[in-house]
Amino acid sequence: MLDTSKRICYTDDHEAFRDTVRKVFDEHMAPHLDKHEAEGIVGREAWHALGEAGMLCPTISEENGGLGLDFGFNAVINEELAYLGSSAGFTLQNDITCNYFERLGTEDQRAKYLPGMITGDVITAIAMTEPGAGSDLQGIRTTAKRDGSDFIINGSKTYITNGQNADCVIVVAKTDPEAGAKGTSLLLVDADTPGFQKGRNLDKIGQHAADTSELFFDDVRVPAENLLGGEGRGFVHLMEELPQERLSIAIGCQAGMQRAFDEAVTFTKDRKAFGKTVFEFQNTKFTLADMAAELQVGWAHLDWCILRHLKGELTTAEASVSKLWHTEKGWDAMDTSLQLHGGAGYMNEYAIARLWRDARVSRIYGGTSEIMKEVISRAI
């Protein structure tokens, strides 16, 4: 269990909410982790359980049917989910897509989607990445051409989180291919729209419980009313959400790093070799001491980032630093913790194996570590 006694970014209300989160995860997630991994998807029953507990889109305003809570409540969910060792797509809906709907959506769009997103009846995804365009979103080739009062969408997307579960997808498309970034727009596509097809639930190295998919658009006709935000403003809208998205990834990595450390401590104190526990060897103690130091620094930095974000002051460069540092340190911790397990670490029955597999992609999605360095360098 995460020790939050020394945290400085949370209030008593946040910690009371954490108790609820833990109870819901203990009942509806922990017993089914292996099932989710085997099936490659987290079923609707879990989404509905979270919705009933107020754990989906808690930052949505009361005016739009939500609880009107601050991002700290999202962060609590994120930490507990990562520490549990689940790759379920709840945080995508909480930390990313719901903001697009509330901030950019029309009154009709908010009324249509937000109530279901809060209850778990509507699961959402955002389709950015394409086979030929990843971190460079200006390189997308999916088009949305005007045809009277409609847009006709053609193209494909890949590596889309919640892709199989999604009832509605925010599609990043070129509405003016000649205008570069200024020709990019966001369009809402419901899962039952003719011409829209969900492809494979992709076979990944890790995060097996996450339904990460290919999506295909073949003359998908949607009304102009499905435009989310301003036409030609898609790239700007995406950039506006990046600080929270990257902070969200950093939060999950820090909590996962803590879980890996805790697993390593437990294992090395129990495992014996050459007449004493593995923990008693100087190499083990020094390795764990290094990890403990990095965890202390990491939690302090994360609290600083969360507090900055709650005040609306976290910059894109600062968020990029948080993603770079926590994902890189998190991966190092996963690998070191697995090594301390010896041969057991290579066995899927041990939690560290799943944690290790799941952590690798964090240095890639949401912008690669290399892109983070580029963004950071521009602010120097």
Q: Which pLDDT score is estimated for 132?
A: 79
Mean pLDDT of 340-359: 97
Q: Write down which residue in 90, 122, 154 finishes a domain.
A: 122
Q: Is the pLDDT of residue 359 over 90?
A: yes
Q: Is the pLDDT of residue 136 over 80?
A: no
Q: Residue 317, SS3?
A: helix
Q: Are residues 362 and 274 in the same domain?
A: yes
3, part of any domain: no
Number of independent structural domains in the chain: 3
216, part of any domain: yes
* CB atoms inside a 10 Å sphere around CB 226: 22
5, part of any domain: no
Q: Are residues 284 and 185 in the same domain?
A: no
Query: Which domain CATH number covers 368?
Result: 1.20.140.10
Mean pLDDT is lowest, of 97-101, 135-139, 237-241, 260-264, for: 135-139
137, part of any domain: yes
Q: Are residues 300 and 216 in the same domain?
A: no
* CB atoms inside a 10 Å sphere around CB 198: 18
Q: Give catalytic residues, as residue numbers.
A: 245
Q: Are residues 186 and 283 in the same domain?
A: no
Mean pLDDT of 291-314: 98
Structural domain range at position 156: 125-231
294, part of any domain: yes
pLDDT band at 181 (very low <50, low <70, confident <90, very high): confident
pLDDT band at 182 (very low <50, low <70, confident <90, very high): confident
Q: Are residues 97 and 48 in the same domain?
A: yes
Q: Which pLDDT score is estimated for 380?
A: 95
Query: Which domain CATH number covers 70?
Result: 1.10.540.10
Tokens 């770079």 locate to 324
**How far, in Å, CA of 313 to CA of 209, rounded?**
34
Q: Which pLDDT score is estimated for 320?
A: 97
* Percent residues over pLDDT 70 in the chain: 99
Structural tokens at position 47: 């989404």
Q: Are residues 98 and 173 in the same domain?
A: no
Query: Which of 93, 80, 77 lies closest to 162, judged by CA?
Result: 93
What is the DSSP secondary structure assignment for residue 130, as one 8-state letter? B
pLDDT band at 134 (very low <50, low <70, confident <90, very high): low
Q: Are residues 318 and 226 in the same domain?
A: no
Q: Are residues 263 and 374 in the same domain?
A: yes
Q: Is the pLDDT of residue 212 over 90?
A: yes
Which region, left, alpha or beta, applies to residue 194 given φ > 0 means left and ψ of -120 to 50 means alpha? beta
Q: Write down which residue in 89, 122, 155 finishes a domain.
A: 122
pTM: 0.95
7, part of any domain: no
Question: pLDDT, tens digit, for every residue of 368-380?
Answer: 999 999 999 999 9
pLDDT band at 251 (very low <50, low <70, confident <90, very high): very high
Q: Write down which residue in 231, 251, 280 finishes a domain.
A: 231
